Amino acid sequence: MMRVKAYYRPHTLEEALRLLHSEDAVPLAGGQQLLAEERHEAQAVVDLQALGLDRIEMEGERLRIGAMVRLQQLVDAPHGSSFLAEAAHRDGPLTYRNAATVGGTIVTHDPLSCLLLSLLVLDAEVEVQRRDGALMVALEQLVTDPAHWLQRGLVTAVMVTLRAGGTAMAVVARTPRDRPTVAVVARVVRQGDRCAEVRLAWGGVAAYPLRAHAVEQALSSQTLEDAHIEAAVAPVIAALQPRSDFRGSAEYRRAMIGVLTRRALWEAWSKAT
């Protein structure tokens, strides 16, 4: 467990950014991963709970989810997306969801997070506040290299347009309550008997959640058929290099990503009426 040498609880974003730049300090959101880390030296922590980043609001056609929103808030939100609520629920048990935050999930780029995969297929953008100003970053860019985009700044919100189309999630795990070994989330927009738009995100096959752009492009404007899916997915899977661990071997992960991709695409297609 991390040894804390100093604790700060700023009430403004400016103060929080100043603290993060003034000494060897790290931001504290839900603390699910930070406090469990093994560090050789004590750290100063900057608690983000008093910054007012815990709201879920509609801004025009976009859903704004504050970085300090707990995953359980997404599950319980009276407005928003039942798709995101389902994904947040899948990320862990109630005790975990009551502590873990949306911002923390993004910054740690958890490759098994169904919430991150769902945000990816919705083309989510992340609001980042740094001392040199604010910027909007595509979630896909941020999860591949958080340190580059944050530069000791803070994720303050994620913005999502609740887009048209059918969505689906397919996972495989050792037990129904366990974290996924492999997960796939798909979104399909239909135009007649063809796919007008396809979004596909894979979890459990890399160090961070992946958007399967090559598969998306291959299926765009195509009729959805098993043969088309196989032709699009097979070369991409062959290039994957997932790690083996106690949840499953690399070979198992590659096999399951194909099975789950077909399952998720067909379910999303059936919902995209």
Q: Where in the chain is the domain with CATH 3.30.465.10?
A: 56-161
- Among positive and negative, which fits the CA dihedral 24, 26, 27, 31? negative
pLDDT tens-digit readout, 14-69: 999 999 887 778 888 866 565 555 554 557 889 999 999 999 999 888 999 999 99
pLDDT at 102: 95
pLDDT at 42: 54
Residue 31 Ramachandran class (φ > 0 left, ψ -120 to 50 alpha, else beta)? left
pLDDT surpassing 90 at residue 159: yes
pLDDT tens-digit readout, 103-155: 999 999 999 999 999 999 999 999 999 988 899 999 999 999 998 998 888 99
Q: Compute the mean pLDDT over every residue in the chain, rounded to the nearest whole number.
A: 90
Instruction: State the average pLDDT over residues 198-203.
Output: 97
Instruction: State the average pLDDT over residues 245-259.
Output: 94
Q: Where in the chain is the domain with CATH 3.30.390.50?
A: 166-271
**Residues 35, 30: Cα–Cα separation, whole Å:** 9
Instruction: State the average pLDDT over residues 249-260.
Output: 95
Domain spanning 4-49, CATH architecture: 2-Layer Sandwich (3.30)
pLDDT surpassing 70 at residue 264: yes
Residues shown for the chain:
273
Which class is 56-161 in CATH?
Answer: alpha beta
Q: Rounded to the nearest 5°, which phi and psi values hold at 46?
A: -115, 105
Q: Rounded to the nearest 5°, which phi and psi values hold at 133?
A: 125, 180
Domain spanning 166-271, CATH architecture: 2-Layer Sandwich (3.30)
Residue 62 structure tokens: 């976009």
